[in-house]
Amino acid sequence: MSILVDENTQLLVQGITGSEGSFHTRKCIEYGTKVVAGVTPGKGGSSFDQIPVFNEVERAVKETGANVSMIFVPPAFAADAIMEAADAGIALVVCITDGIPTLDMVTVINYLHGKATRLIGPNCPGLISPGKCKVGLMPGDIHRQGNVGVVSRSGTLTYEAVAQLTEQNIGQSTCIGVGGDPLIGTTFVDVLRLFEKDPQTKLVVLIGEIGGTAEQEAAEVMKKEMTKPIVSFVAGSTAPPGRRMGHAGAIITGSSGTANEKIAALKAAGAAIASSPAEIGIVARKVLESRA
Amino acid sequence: MKIHEYQAKEILAKHGVPVPKGGVAATPKEARDIASQLGGKVVIKAQVYAGGRGKAGGIKTAASADEAEKLAQEMIGRQLVTHQTSAEGVPVEKVLVEEAAPIERELYLGIVIDSARGLPVIMASEAGGVDIEEVAAKTPEKIIKAYIEPVAGFQPFIGKKLAYGMNLAPEQIRPATQLIGNLYQAFADKDCSLAEINPLVVTSDGRLLALDAKLNLDDNALFRHRDYAELRDPGQEDELELEASEHNITYIRLDGDVGCMVNGAGLAMSTMDIIKLSGAEPANFLDVGGGASDEMVTKAFIILLSDPKVKAALINIFGGILRCDIVARGVIEAAKQVEVKVPLVVRMRGTNVDEGMKLLAESGLPVILAHDLKDAAEKVVAAKEGRLTA
């Protein structure tokens, strides 16, 4: 097992012919992901590296059986692309696009209510189940198949954490970047529940950052629902309030957005805290050893 | 993106939100003219991108046009230091001159996006004029919230609920409902991330007025609001930060002396954190971004070095989309354009790391190499303190 993506994933790429879309599609294929279709309006009927390209998602799904979509559409059109994928019945939509207006995401999040589609992102690196399937931007070779689930709001910091785990000989079940925007489709809470149910996952590494209250909400669920151990790091202890630290969601407004508040909540919920970003792998190893 | 109070009030007035009569002045003479048109008794408000103006002397009352001119003279051209600014403060280039409204009650009205619910939320409170965070912490029952569903949009009952919640007089309910609806319309039309009226006042003759106004605009929505660019006041922003943003580099200047250049926001924050854990203070946040070119890396590195506080620099790259060889080329080019006077520690991992390291080694630059995050932070602190050289 693993969560959300695996060897049964049939990937569709929206924006497959763009520069980022084509580059990362090839990287995903190299990793072993089955890419079955692409969508670029106006280029339907052509192909990209032998992959058929369609004008519409609905048609692509009908003809290829795609069940996951990865979106590289520019920010002005990305919200529409997510809703088009949901309308076509895609089970999992991974939106990589950075820079979607927040009010567009309000529409998207509410459009998805009551639909079977799960959205990951936007503004995220995607997800990978090592050894099985990669739907995103992460360098595949730092991963290793195993039993630790990783969830994070950022990209390169996730790679850093994964590389530390792999160096400690700790493999991963699935690694997910949920995205750095204020409004995202899949939250820490959703991912924790999925990891709790996944038999392959024995421990979860949760990497938070300043801004919002996602870590506090995760802590509530950890207390009430999680039996698996959690290791956590929260980035941004040194960030000043009121400044957006790159991610639209990483801005301290009020006391609940600070790293200290988040660390306190996670600690109270029983998470083992890595106080330094260099110690995520070591802390995970210690927790696994204490459980062995 | 922040805008000035007078700009926010112009937007609100266009949307039918009542604001005090007044005008913006760039010179004391203009302030005097506006004051005399308003009858002499006015409030002079410094226009800066920072809160806490009142306590810092940025808001003053004048009894006459003469006094208005004098007060404007004192403010314009000076730096205003508030609890939200750096010790240097922010420059005051304009003042807002407004009628001094007779205030009976001070209320609060604000709109943000609630990320947990995925909806805009309007908050109202009868305890206005003070920090709303404090009200929320001490007397949460005094804050009433209403969510806006995107399909239905703003409905009159929402305004009514909030208006009654602020304990307004019966004759004020209808105008308040309308005002709240208009504020929401401005929030939605302008793609705001925050729309706040604090305080919203009831005057002694029973009128509702937005005495202060703050609108933050969503940077991501720039592409559909051409007017955003005109609203921006570069004079209120840090020069280096502005230069960086023109090159799509996210750079935020901080108070420490260890400069850092990183790819990715999360890793950039973590790099700042580990610099602190190793006993120094970060001089900046700098994310070169995922798709950076070598020109961008060059620009970013020069910006980092332009901060005179920087005594040592750390480059921390986890190559994914951004290749390490691109970073190395960018840094080498920067070193040709400006003199690197401070020790430089480099830690690279991921895509094309060997090529990147080789380029740096062959360049002859005095670079201290680090093998992981902890090693990098310790080395940059040691180099800053003169305990380590290349």
> B58 vs B9, B34, B92, B210, CA distance in Å?
18, 18, 9, 18
B282: which DSSP letter?
B
Q: Above 90 in pLDDT, residue B290?
A: no
Banded pLDDT at B350 (limits 50, 70, 90): confident
Instruction: Give the model confidence (pLDDT) of B43-75 as tens digits.
Output: 999 999 988 898 899 999 999 999 999 999 999
Contacts of A235 (CB under 8 A, 6+ apart): A154, A157, A207, A208, A209, A210, A259, A277, B266, B269, B270, B273
Paired strand residues for B60? B44
pLDDT value at position B85? Answer: 83
Banded pLDDT at B88 (limits 50, 70, 90): confident
Instruction: Give the model confidence (pLDDT) of A17-56 as tens digits.
Output: 998 899 999 999 999 999 999 999 999 999 999 999 999 9
Residue A113 burial by Cβ neighbours in a 10 Å radius (0-12, 13-18, 19+): exposed
Contacts 24+ apart (CB under 8 A), B72-75: B72/B25, B72/B27, B72/B28, B72/B30, B72/B31, B72/B32, B72/B44, B72/B97, B73/B28, B75/B44, B75/B46
Report, as an integer, the average pLDDT of B9-27.
Answer: 97
CA angle B362, B367, B372 (to 5 degrees): 110
A16 to chain B, closest Cα gap in Å: 16
A159: which DSSP letter?
H
Residue B320 is nearest to which of A99, A139, A210, comparing CB atoms? Answer: A139
Instruction: Give the model confidence (pLDDT) of A155-194 as tens digits.
Output: 999 999 999 999 999 999 999 999 999 999 999 999 999 9
Report, as an integer, the average pLDDT of B360-370.
Answer: 92
Contact A99/B220, CB-based, under 8 Å? yes
Quote the CA–CA distance of B370 and B353 in Å, as a whole number: 12
pLDDT value at position B389? Answer: 87
Closest CA to B129 of B59, B199, B53: B199
Banded pLDDT at B291 (limits 50, 70, 90): confident
Quote the CA–CA distance of A231 and A207 in Å, as a whole number: 8
> B176 vs A2, B104, B169, CA distance in Å?
53, 15, 10
pLDDT value at position B253? Answer: 93
Which segments within chain A are labelled E, that is strand? Answer: 10-14, 34-39, 47-48, 51-54, 68-71, 92-95, 118-120, 126-129, 133-136, 145-152, 172-177, 203-209, 230-235, 272-273
Residues of B in contact with A233 (CB under 8 A): 270
pLDDT value at position B369? Answer: 94
Closest CA to A139 of A163, A122, A123: A163
Annotated catalytic residues of A are 247
pLDDT value at position A144? Answer: 97
Which segments within chain B are labelled E, that is strand? Answer: 22-25, 42-46, 59-62, 79-80, 90-91, 95-99, 103-114, 119-125, 143-147, 192-203, 208-210, 214-217, 250-253, 258-262, 284-287, 312-319, 344-350, 367-369
Q: Above 80 in pLDDT, residue A199?
A: yes
Contact B320/A278, CB-based, under 8 Å? no
Closest CA to A241 of B340, B254, B378: B254
Distance of alpha carbon A37 from its chain centroid, rounded?
A: 21
Q: Give me the helices (H) in A90-171, please.
A: 102-112, 156-167
Query: Is residue B119 within 8 Å of residue B113, measured between CB atoms?
Result: yes
Query: Is residue A253 within 8 Å of residue A239, measured between CB atoms?
Result: no
B264 to chain A, closest Cα gap in Å: 6
Pairs of residues, one from chain A and one from chain B, whose beta carbons lie less than 8 Å apart: 169
Closest CA to A236 of B386, B273, B262, B41: B273
Q: Is the ipTM of this complex over 0.85?
A: yes
**What three-state secondary structure class fits A128?**
strand
Q: Above 90 in pLDDT, residue B289?
A: no
Query: Is residue B211 within 8 Å of residue B203, measured between CB atoms?
Result: no
Mean pLDDT across chain A: 95
pLDDT value at position B134? Answer: 82
pLDDT value at position A251? Answer: 87
pLDDT value at position A123? Answer: 95
Interface test with A, best of B214, B267, B315, B380 (most A CBs within 10 A): B267
Residues of A in contact with B263 (CB under 8 A): 156
pLDDT value at position B132? Answer: 80
Contacts of A68 (CB under 8 A, 6+ apart): A5, A9, A10, A11, A12, A90, A91, A92, A93, A94, A135
Q: Is residue A237 less than 8 Å (CB to CB) from chain B?
A: yes
Residues of A in contact with B285 (CB under 8 A): 239, 243, 245-246
pLDDT value at position B52? Answer: 86
Mean pLDDT across chain B: 94
Q: Say what the pTM is.
A: 0.93
